[in-house]
Structure 1
């Protein structure tokens, strides 16, 4: 929904932002600026101490705030007739949630920074672990760009993958590479490593058999 104030023949439209579980800080800044542009913010914070806001403006501000919050929250606050009470109620509720969200997000960021693929762990398993942490961060309002995920993936590879990581970094534009593409290239290299190890095991086994035959050590 948009609201369009008109001043001296010039109109500007404002898209009303809707509050979500993860956007309170940005939402509050946007809503305050829009309400101020309409002359409605004074119903929340009077310009002069002790000044009583205009009744019509209070009704307009209340209607605006009810447009900017989820429907289920409108029902919870339907008894409020003062926009200041609505604003303070939202602030109390969401700043507590915001603190918890910020703490959880900080923990997730530390996990992402310290995450390393272990020797013996498959690329698929590690990529799923990395994607899972990125998804949790996204649910808390922190969107990891594709390029950040790709770089985090490459930086987290064990020593056995250093050759392919160096090759990818030298031969491809990481800024445009998709996460799934990077995973696919690492998996292809992983399969080649496994194939080489199998061939070495086979050749080693054949060599050992020949040695046993020559020594008469057949069992």
Structure 2
């Protein structure tokens, strides 16, 4: 990607649409071979005594990747959100800070999933709505469930639509 000279801007996050930002940002970092720097958070070992030129170059490249990943994360957030991550020293710390801020801890995510699954089960088509409007509502709930990291069976979606349609359909 870097050989083409094209460098798209990182996807912005301003506090809304965090779940979508995560997917876009992960892909963005993968495109620049930086996702592992964020995901693994491996401490960079110091150079050994009498390093070769290759070792020096590799160490420099690894250090630069950390700064690039951190820069991309910092530049993809609004100034208000930047203040939350500006004290973070590694890209992993910044990533986790944003995740905790916008997704909450595991208990909160679990509760959100329970609420979304309940919403899915309780969805019914109103007589005044079109099938398109109804399926859009279902897919919005399903996509929210998927964005929280839970799997959702496609057959269950079809079953839901068919079983809750009014008789006239």
Give me the TM-score of the superposition, normalised by structure 1.
0.43
Candidates 68, 84, 94, aligned match of 2:92: 84
Candidates 2, 9, 16, aligned match of 2:10: 16
The corresponding residue for 1:109 is 120
Superposition CA RMSD, Å: 4.4
How far the C-alpha of 1:21 sits from its partner, in A, is 3.2
Q: What is the rounded CA distance, in whole Å, between the counterparts of 2:11 and 2:40 in structure 1?
A: 20
| Matched pairs, number | 136
Q: What is the rounded CA distance, in whole Å, between the counterparts of 1:70 and 1:100 in structure 2?
A: 28
Q: Gapped runs of 5+ residues in structure 1? A: 118-122, 143-147, 166-219
Aligned to 2:113, the other structure's residue is in SS state helix
Give me the TM-score of the superposition, normalised by structure 2.
0.52
Q: Gapped runs of 5+ residues in structure 2? A: 47-58, 145-156
Indicate the larger mover: 20-29 or 59-68: 20-29
Matched, 1:42 2:40: no
Matched, 1:5 2:29: no
Q: Which has the higher contact order (CA 8 A, sep 6+)?
A: 2
How far the C-alpha of 1:110 sits from its partner, in A, is 0.7
Q: List, as ranges, runs of 4+ consecutive aligned residues in structure 1 with deviation greater than 6 Å.
A: none
How far the C-alpha of 1:64 sits from its partner, in A, is 0.6
Distance 1:34 1:99, change over 3 A: farther
Q: What is the rounded CA distance, in whole Å, between the counterparts of 2:77 and 2:138 in structure 1?
A: 24
How far the C-alpha of 1:132 sits from its partner, in A, is 9.0
Q: What is the rounded CA distance, in whole Å, between the counterparts of 1:45 and 1:154 in structure 2?
A: 44
Does the 8 A contact of 2:85 with 2:94 survive in 1?
yes
Q: What is the rounded CA distance, in whole Å, between the counterparts of 1:133 and 1:140 in structure 2?
A: 10
The corresponding residue for 2:45 is 51
Distance 1:61 1:154, change over 3 A: closer
Q: What is the rounded CA distance, in whole Å, between the counterparts of 2:111 and 2:21 in structure 1?
A: 13
Aligned to 2:114, the other structure's residue is in SS state helix
Does the 8 A contact of 1:108 with 1:137 survive in 2?
no
Rg bigger for which structure? 1
